[in-house]
Structure 1
Amino acid sequence: MVVLLLAMSLDAPVTAKILASDREHRPALVSALATFAGKTRRYLLVSTVFGIICAAFDVAALALLGVPLPLLWGVLALITTYIPNIGFVLGLLPPAMLALLDGGVRQMLLVIAAYCAINVVFQSFILPKFLGDAVGLTTTMTLVSLIVWTFVLGPLGAVLAIPLSLLARAILIDSDPSARWAAALISGEPSARTTTSP
């Protein structure tokens, strides 16, 4: 993945020039790909910012509760922020199990309560508002994309579910002006109606 990202970064200036020169022939596709790039950047930025904030609170809670390796579990919480809907549960399981082994049932329940309090506030109330505006996918589409891409690519598909869905949307829906109805269903925002003269 790192090598692939490096190769894509090196090719980005050339790809941008090619797309800019092809704007006259396929303006809808070029515009859709530009929108995809912008939404993916916003998704990564929003997820990273909220992931760092949430992970910092998780690390502080684990340190106060005396759970071993709180910084490691904070990094895991940050990584699982990129997995929509179920990332919180995946990030909670290892520190909860370690708390059970280290301090017993009471410490495990305290870890679960702390994670739930922190993550419910951030991932259920604050993050969806910012992420929905940044990405343009409904909650249902986010869950469906998680299921589909995890089935296709395994755990890596869970992490890349949103960017891959945005790419599929750009190529299959946003590049076709006649597919505005599908874009409205996916984003949850009504498409602009065109009025025809009588």
Structure 2
Amino acid sequence: MLLCTAGAVVTLAGVKAVGSILGPVLLALVLVMAVSPVRTRLDARGAPGWLQVAVPLAIVLVVLLGMMAVLTLSVAQLAGLAPTYGDQFGEIVAQLRDFAARLGIGGKQIDQAIRSFDPGKVFTFVQGFASGLLGAFSGLVLIVVLLLAMCLDARSFSRALAHGRTSRPKLVAALDDFAHKTRRYLVVSTVFGLVCAALDAAALWALGVPLPLLWGVLALITNYIPNIGFVIGLIPPALLGLLEGGFETMLLVIAAYIAINFVVQSLVQPKFLGDAVGLSTTVTFLSLIVWAFVLGPLGALLAIPLSLLVRAVLIDGDPRGGWAAALVSGELPAEGERDRASSGDGSAPPAEPGTAPPPGASAVP
């Protein structure tokens, strides 16, 4: 355990040291896997090789450039909005001071806390997060080159994996499962993220909050961030609702976001996502912390796919990793899988002493 812990620390430190290079590589890998079914369908219909590369690459570039445009607009709009609400900030602080006085709350500490209340810091935080993502995407040339190279190598890589099934069936099956779960996670998250973004933008427009379309797109992007993505997408429109219409508008924005996201992401989305993630709630939250620390905002955006990759390589690819898979997923393996794991090599469990071997099997251990 000490050796594994030390190896993990050294590995994560190395990943963080080369994060500016490895981050775009992992982003390109996830994007290529997301559009790989397009190449498969084109191949099945007999499309030429150049078309099998050009179509997936064009889809990825459109998505990537669109995300960069939205983030650039977000940073510019946030930078322009913050200074225009100086008077509203002062009014809010005065209202908080009066409210505390009505409740009989006083003292220098309370007064100092109210005076230090600065909603502009929230703008700074969200703007810094968007700027971090934009900085991760700023190496567009490197990402495009990586995307082109991976699209060109997709067919040969698939053939290499198919050839490796005879020697490393467990690992190849784990990588296939990782690709399938990642695609399913991305597709389901994108579809329901679009639904949430449209409903959020409509609610903000009805409440008179500025830039509803922009905050709807931000809600779509933060939908890929587990656990805290909803909060990050909620903070800017809630703050603008406070500045535009007071506390009542802010509470209505918060209530609308909570209702929409609870119905869509908590009640409907899990029925379609099922066990696509294969990670427990605790592991999901820890993976968010770890990958955000290692790769920054891009790590937070790719936390689930990266954790699935680590599980596929280190746990699912090991015949003896069934117990660890149960720990990270929170679900016990099937009876047959537990028996194979207990045998230590992925084979069938040994027969009980004194019993004859099954027909066709050798009696020599």
TM-score band w.r.t. shorter chain: over 0.9
The yes-or-no answer on 1:197 pairing with 2:339 is no
The yes-or-no answer on 1:131 pairing with 2:273 is yes
Counterpart Cα distance in 2 of 1:5 and 1:166:
21
CA positional deviation for 1:56 = 1.2
Q: String of CA shifts for 1:46-78, please: whole Å, max 9, x gaps.
A: 101110111111011111111111111110011
Counterpart Cα distance in 2 of 1:108 and 1:82:
24
Is contact 1:132–1:138 with CA below 8 Å preserved after alignment?
Answer: no
Counterpart Cα distance in 2 of 1:131 and 1:140:
18
Question: Could you say which residue in structure 1 is the equivalent of 2:233?
Answer: 91
Q: String of CA shifts for 1:131-162, please: whole Å, max 9, x gaps.
A: 35212111111111111111111111111000
Counterpart Cα distance in 2 of 1:122 and 1:6:
35
The yes-or-no answer on 1:142 pairing with 2:296 is no
CA positional deviation for 1:186 = 1.5
Question: Could you say which residue in structure 1 is the equivalent of 2:193?
Answer: 51
Question: Could you say which residue in structure 2 is the equivalent of 1:39?
Answer: 181
Counterpart Cα distance in 2 of 1:109 and 1:123:
20
When the two chains are superposed, the root-mean-square deviation of aligned CA atoms in Å is 1.6
The two structures have a TM-score, normalised by structure 1, of 0.93
CA positional deviation for 1:125 = 3.0
Q: String of CA shifts for 1:99-149, please: whole Å, max 9, x gaps.
A: 222222221121111111111222333334543521211111111111111
The range that moved more, 121-130 or 90-99, is 121-130
The yes-or-no answer on 1:151 pairing with 2:293 is yes
CA positional deviation for 1:6 = 4.3
1:109-188 matches, cutoff 5 A: 109-188=251-330
The range that moved more, 13-22 or 123-132, is 123-132
- Secondary structure, counterpart of 2:226 in structure 1: coil
Structure 2: stretches of 5+ with no match in the other structure? 1-23, 25-142, 340-348, 353-365
Counterpart Cα distance in 1 of 2:245 and 2:318:
57
Structure 1 counterpart of 2:170, from 21, 28, 32: 28
Counterpart Cα distance in 2 of 1:94 and 1:12:
40
Question: Could you say which residue in structure 2 is the equivalent of 1:70?
Answer: 212
Structure 1: stretches of 5+ with no match in the other structure? none
Counterpart of 2:351, as a letter, is S
The range that moved more, 182-191 or 124-133, is 124-133
Question: How many positions carry a matched residue from both structures?
Answer: 198
Counterpart of 1:83, as a letter, is I
Counterpart Cα distance in 2 of 1:184 and 1:171:
15
- Secondary structure, counterpart of 1:178 in structure 2: coil
- Give the number of the structure whose alpha-carbon radius of gyration is greater: 2
Counterpart Cα distance in 2 of 1:182 and 1:130:
26
C-alpha distance 34-189 of structure 1, shift in aligned 2 (>3 A):
same
Is contact 1:22–1:30 with CA below 8 Å preserved after alignment?
Answer: yes
The yes-or-no answer on 1:107 pairing with 2:261 is no
C-alpha distance 138-162 of structure 1, shift in aligned 2 (>3 A):
same
Is contact 1:173–1:180 with CA below 8 Å preserved after alignment?
Answer: yes
- Secondary structure, counterpart of 2:332 in structure 1: coil
C-alpha distance 64-6 of structure 1, shift in aligned 2 (>3 A):
farther
Aligned-residue identity in percent = 70
CA positional deviation for 1:5 = 3.9
